[in-house]
Structure 1
């Protein structure tokens, strides 16, 4: 499988950082590493499986197996126990990926910049799953899940930069679309895999980890990694780690606009995704006993609709060389889904809104990821900047629960779901409009 890249000149985006980073981009070493030649189908398939393996090992724990383990350990305090486990893990994840991203960009190993982090994250991640499966107390479960988040984020910090590292501009939409559907597939497939082994929680936690080990190992054998030279890197200091969480909007305005846009669109999407269960309980007479199949149906519908649009629109955006119009249109369609959901008179109409939302998010995620890869500020800090972008995906998970009650209380009471979903729709559209001011991408 040949995924070597020919030497190509560095295409510095408008607004790219001046100073040391730009100088490094202009160096011969960076020109050598700029993606030029098309990546092979084998490379794409192995990267797809690597991401799929990671999410299959990780996602069932966040949604199913962790909650069941907490319920086994402390059935009376399960809500508080699960919140503690997930909260500590979320904090670790928020910090870890950015720190590991910076360290990945500065890795001068003879094996490459990304391989050491992918390999070490894979091995330690599997060991963390073993600890997680054997945890028999809440404190030990907190520690095990924190270690799982730490190790898997080292792995993800190595995988995420591979697309901008390896994939040329004319394939970005296609490859981003393929990688974008891995979480959707893993969310459904991981849940089904977990159900296959339940009530054996140990097997349900560990078997997905075996898929991760196999798929990531295959990718490591395929990957011909970038290599960095120590003399091309700026001196390391504590300030370097602090900058892991920041990319200057003044020096990289297009990246800043892409970040703000992603934050707002994801915020809008989560108002519907995170509160659909409560909506079903409050509006359509579902109970805790029978709402599960309805939520599963909506999850499957979301996957089935998102996958084809992610692939198709990624390819179309590559062919046309345009990204921003697809971001705008998909956000508008997502907003239509919110409106339909907010005023749905019955479950069938709500299902229709889920279909619309799935189509919209599939198109959005593939094209926007390709756009972001084009506006990264520096070829020397790819992993760090991808981790900064990751914050735009994670922060809405905190911001939506904090602000949602304000929308729900509009007009009195605490269940004004039309106001919540419409608010999310408006925020998503504003985010997509912000995206249109990016200058270096069509």
Structure 2
């Protein structure tokens, strides 16, 4: 049966007359009269709209600054949680378990494998279910809310986990919850943002991600208790999710035929058959391999190689965990500047590949520096340079991915598959780095030569990923 929200009457067949449907559902929030269906964006009240009654072809309107802020709020909270968790909290907590004493690198990689395995299934599945959802909140918001609630519970278990096995199970749950929320969330960009504004929207997401990482890093620096760290990070994550759900007023589907199980399974393979999408996936996979190799081993590098955390004559940290938090600052300063410029530049010129070439080259150079330095001052300099490349790439990969989505009716599912290029490196990069780190040891610590090999492996990932993006045909 069909229904409509509002006070409209029905004709004899139970249908809302076409002219009344238009005035009921396509009125702007300011009351200026009928608008195009694409105007039902994140500031309008929630309305139920039949997908078959609305033409999706007209161009979407440009979003305001406030709307872009609301859209990117959850990315802030997610980054505030996951950035410090992967770089500082997770390695430090893994190292505290007795079973990890003789192989901290392998134990860290093992934990990431546990968390990533379920994500490989959950990400595209949650996206596919979201695409066909008819929930009154919209297609994306219910999944974001569910993911946030489950993630909060998983964080509580991780904070009090007495053994490594329980910690791994909780991290598995956290990874699954993140993907339940993230696949539908990433689809909000192609859902709501017009093509000509996606570079700017990606810049917003990039900057909010970096601010979130900075906030999360500050939390790990200020709070000494691991319980306090988990509490504050969990609140930031949950609060930002609520803000995005509140501000992103989605258009809802009144009537939709869910695909059969067979058709849903076939749709999971369809994006991989698209040449440009496949190349973009491979490029992101390789670049994330390099990024994660650097990020996940930075704490161990500072602890085993740098040791003295003095910057320009001032001791800025008393432990490796504090030092890696300090390293966030130069990375984020560099990344925020390059992210803002890269998004605007990409929108104005359309030269998305050029941004990838430059950002990849900058990250290569920073990794070469990391492979030869032995003091904290130059580590900070290398971190700033790395941030310049990281910020530009993090923005442009979003814009490129949304440009290359093959099917507008399956945004969340396709973005869920694309997100696997971020999840899979957590398995592969962690395993490779763990083997290298644990096979170049003296006195229980990875040697300087071992870390040099790690950073040069990251350079190799960046070289291949940067060159491979040239094969994307649609952006030529």
2:234 is paired with a residue of what secondary structure? helix
Match of 1:307 among 336, 348, 356: 336
TM-score, normalised relative to structure 2? 0.74
CA distance in 2 between counterparts of 1:281 and 1:140 reads 26
CA shift for structure 1 position 391 = 1.4
User: Which residue number in structure 2 is paired with residue 205 of structure 1?
Assistant: 230
2:197 aligned with 1:162, yes or no? no
Other-structure match for 2:250: 225
**Structure 1 partner of 2:279:** 257
Deviations 1:173-208 (A, max 9, x none): 111122123343333312322454542x44432333
The answer on 1:319 being equivalent to 2:341 is no
**Is 1:102 aligned with 2:128?**
yes
Aligned pairs for 1:377-392 (under 5 A) are: 377-392=406-421
Q: Distance in 2 between matches of 1:427 and 1:119?
A: 35
Match of 2:466 in 1: 432
TM-score (norm 1): 0.80
Displacement after TM superposition at 1:166 (Å): 0.8
1:236 offset after TM fit, Å? 2.1
Task: Provide Cα deviations, 1:101-153, integer angstroms capped at 9, x if missing partner.
Answer: 11111212233211221222233333444455555555554444333333232
Q: Report the 3-state secondary structure (helix = DSSP H, G, I; strand = E; otherwise coil) of the residue aligned with 2:471.
A: coil
Counterpart in the other structure of 1:41: 65
* Match of residue 401 from structure 2: 372
The structural deviation recorded for 1:338 is: 2.3
Please tell me the root mean square deviation across aligned C-alpha atoms, in Å. Answer: 3.8
Q: Which residue of 2 aligns with 1:92?
A: 118
| C-alpha deviation, 1:371, in angstroms | 1.1
**Does structure 1 retain, via aligned residues, the 8 Å contact 2:109–2:431?**
no
Pairing 1:265-280 to 2, within 5 Å after superposition? 265-280=287-302
**Shift in Å at residue 222 of structure 1?**
2.0
Which of 5, 19, 32 is the aligned partner of 2:56? 32
Match of 1:363 among 373, 380, 392: 392
Matched, 1:189 2:218: no
Aligned mates of 1:124, 1:290 — CA distance in 2: 32
> Which deviates more, 259-268 or 139-148?
139-148
Deviation at 1:330, TM superposition (A): 1.4
User: Shift of the alpha carbon at 1:225?
Assistant: 1.6
Secondary structure in structure 2 of the residue aligned to 1:380: helix
Q: Is the 8 A contact 1:46 1:215 kept in 2?
A: no
* Residue 371 of structure 2, aligned match among 342, 355, 359: 342
Partner of 1:150: 176
> 1:267 deviation in Å?
2.0
Q: What is the count of residue pairs matched by the alignment?
A: 417
How far did residue 167 of structure 1 move? 0.8
Change (3 A) 1:406 1:92: closer
Shift in Å at residue 68 of structure 1? 7.0
- With over 3 angstroms needed to count, the CA separation of the structure-2 counterparts of 1:127 and 1:40, relative to structure 1, is same
CA distance in 2, matches of 1:264, 1:131: 32
> Counterpart in 2 of 1:13?
none
User: Which has the larger Rg?
Assistant: 2
SS state of the match for residue 381, structure 1?
A: helix
Q: Is residue 237 from structure 1 mapped to residue 266 from structure 2 by the alignment?
A: no
Gap regions ≥5 residues in structure 1? 9-26
SS of the residue corresponding to residue 227 of structure 1 reads strand
